[in-house]
Amino acid sequence: MGNRFEGRGNVGSDPVLKFVDMAGGEKRAVCELRVYFDRQVKDGDKWKEQGGFWLNVSYWGKRGEQAGKVLVKGCRVSVVGMLVQESWADKETGEEKTRLVLDAESVDIDPVRVESVKFVDKRGE
């Protein structure tokens, strides 16, 4: 697979869980995340941040539904997936717009940072 992406980053805001109408009348869950991937470089004996980037992440299906219920802003996650270019026409100007989205195969909470995140039980929502 030529555009496979693997990275660790921080969830920048609480995930959005949606249910999308699919062909055949079924609904499919998608968890939408915004993740910041920092870039660390070694400077002598220390690591320091040297820029980074934000990436929109879509995580589909049952696993995406579960992720939408447990992930919160600040979680450190490991993400694996494929980069996909989305295109649409701006509603106001009609201008063609594009963005890269990571279509995730897996999103896992990084256990090293779990203790620093306060989890909220969202199951009642």
- In a domain? residue 123: no
pLDDT of amino acid 107? 95
pLDDT of amino acid 49? 80
pLDDT in tens, 105-120: 999 988 765 544 555 5
pLDDT of amino acid 46? 86
Look at the chain and report how many structural domains it folds into.
Answer: 1
How far, in Å, CA of 80 to CA of 108, rounded? Answer: 9
pLDDT in tens, 13-43: 999 999 998 888 889 999 999 999 988 788 8
Is the pTM for the entire model greater than 0.75? yes
| CATH number assigned to the domain comprising residue 49 | 2.40.50.140
Domain containing 34 equals: 4-116
